[in-house]
Amino acid sequence: MGVLRVGVLGAGVVGVTTATELQAEFPTASITIIANKFNEDTTSEIAAGIFRPSPSFAGPTTEITSQWIRDSYNYYDALRRSEQASRAGVSQVSGYILSSVDPSLVQNHFLERTVPLYRRTTEEELKLCPGNWKYGSYFTTLVTECTKFLPWSLERFKQTGGKVVQKTVTKLQDLEHSFDIVMNCTGLGAKHLCSDDKMVPIRGQVIKVYAPWMKTFFYAENDTYVIPRSDGVILGGCRHYDSSDISLSPHDRAAIKERCFKLIPSLQKARVLQEHAGLRPHRSVVRVEPEVLGKLKVVHNYGHGGYGVTAAPGTSKHALKLVQQLHLSTYGHSKL
Ligand SMILES: Cc1cc2nc3c(=O)[nH]c(=O)nc-3n(C[C@H](O)[C@H](O)[C@H](O)COP(=O)(O)OP(=O)(O)OC[C@H]3O[C@@H](n4cnc5c(N)ncnc54)[C@H](O)[C@@H]3O)c2cc1C
């Protein structure tokens, strides 16, 4: 019996966290990342990267989803506290979520149980931004800049003996001779690869501006957000369900600017650095489960929608447990 061979299909935030966690858990295994896109070509690089699961974000059960969120937060927070924090692109940020219509919009049961601070705003704080804000919360969370996190993780993976192959895979079974187990972290690619009709692209667009005076994040209605990072401030956003168009829309650009400038008027003088559009790989229930396809064992880990940066380390940890179960049921401890 030789060395355990694991293929990680996908090099977005889900693939790279799965691969680096696999290395830590199975140090003797041979691990290869296979992907057709890396770093700036992935959806992950477009993400604002704030740790903020929607209350509607769902795994198979509430208990499992809560565990994913806790595990993810602990993973990023440990990185933030380490000397690698700035190279890995992880930092702490605090800010507001505001609503003029619905108090439930400023509540978040995942965050309230996870982050170090989550409290209701004071009356004075509700007057910080123009508008008739009635409800608000202030909280402290994390931001992970995938522009740094992906290349840093890939480098760490290679230095620890991991292999990286650039290739398009059209059928999972094509990998059965090369690997004992394949981790399917293909995001929206899984829609075709697994004929998964539950996968839906949700189009988003963001503008990165130079506004170094912004130190606090703001969320408001209509998917409006302003998120300060080390490389600029991300202004968003929009959510177009079942839209696959990744060209930049002048209408979305105008709408994002209008909403963000109304919320924070000083942003009108900010210089535009970059603009991006991308497709969130949405699935009503994120798929983290094993499947046996002929001779190939697969562990799926995809469908994180608008919360892949937030949840990737947690779902990857879950996927690793499934690898252990699949593997032990076949080989016992012999290849571990
Ligand atoms: C505008 C916008 C803002 C966002 N903001 C946030 C945020 O603030 N916080 C947050 O948590 N999330 C955010 N997200 C969501 C986040 O970007 C995604 O959930 C996350 O990137 C999904 O990661 P992934 O690794 O599954 O997919 P991807 O990053 O798309 O990676 C998929 C990988 O699989 C590979 N692949 C796919 N199919 C194949 C194939 N057939 N053969 C070979 N390789 C294949 C691709 O090449 C790629 O390497 C945002 C998304 C958008 C669009």
- 310 annotated as belonging to a binding site for a ligand: yes
Report domain extents, the chain. 5-331
Contact 304 CB / ligand 1 (< 6 Å): yes
Closest to 232 (Cα-Cα) out of 252, 251, 209: 209
Longest CA span, the chain: 68
**Chain centroid to CA 334: how far?**
34
Q: Which of 8, 32, 38, 42 to mutate to test the pocket of ligand 1 (most atoms within 8 A of CB)?
A: 42
Q: How far is the CA of 52 from the centre of ligand 1 (A)?
A: 16
Ligand 1 touching residue 49 (CB < 6 A): yes
Are 205 and 276 in contact, with CB atoms under 8 Å apart?
yes
Cβ count within 10 A of residue 93:
18
Nearest alpha carbon to residue 273 among 227, 236, 231, 237: 231
| Cα–ligand 1 centroid distance for 121 (angstroms) | 33
120 is an annotated ligand-binding site residue: no
Distance (Å, rounded) from C-alpha 277 to C-alpha 237? 10
Residue 140 marked in a binding site: no
| Nearest protein CA to atom 31 of ligand 1, as residue | 12
Q: What are the pLDDT tens digits along the chain (336 aa)?
A: 589 999 999 999 999 999 999 999 999 999 999 999 999 999 999 999 999 999 999 999 999 999 999 999 999 999 999 999 999 999 999 999 999 999 999 999 999 999 999 999 999 999 999 999 999 999 999 999 999 999 999 999 999 999 999 999 999 999 999 999 999 999 999 999 999 999 999 999 999 999 999 999 999 999 999 999 999 999 999 999 999 999 999 999 999 999 999 999 999 999 999 999 999 999 999 999 999 999 899 999 999 999 999 999 999 999 999 999 887 777 665 555
- Are 311 and 281 in contact by the 8 Å Cβ rule? The answer is no
CA–CA dist 286, 290 (Å, integer) = 13
Q: Is 4 in the pocket of ligand 1 (CB under 6 A)?
A: no
Supply the pLDDT for residue 2.
80
Ligand 1 centre distance from Cα of residue 49 (Å): 11
Q: Is 278 in the pocket of ligand 1 (CB under 6 A)?
A: yes
CATH class of the domain defined by 5-331: alpha beta
CA pair distance 135, 79, nearest whole angstrom:
33
Q: Is 186 annotated as a binding residue?
A: yes
CA of 104 relative to ligand 1 center, distance in Å: 28
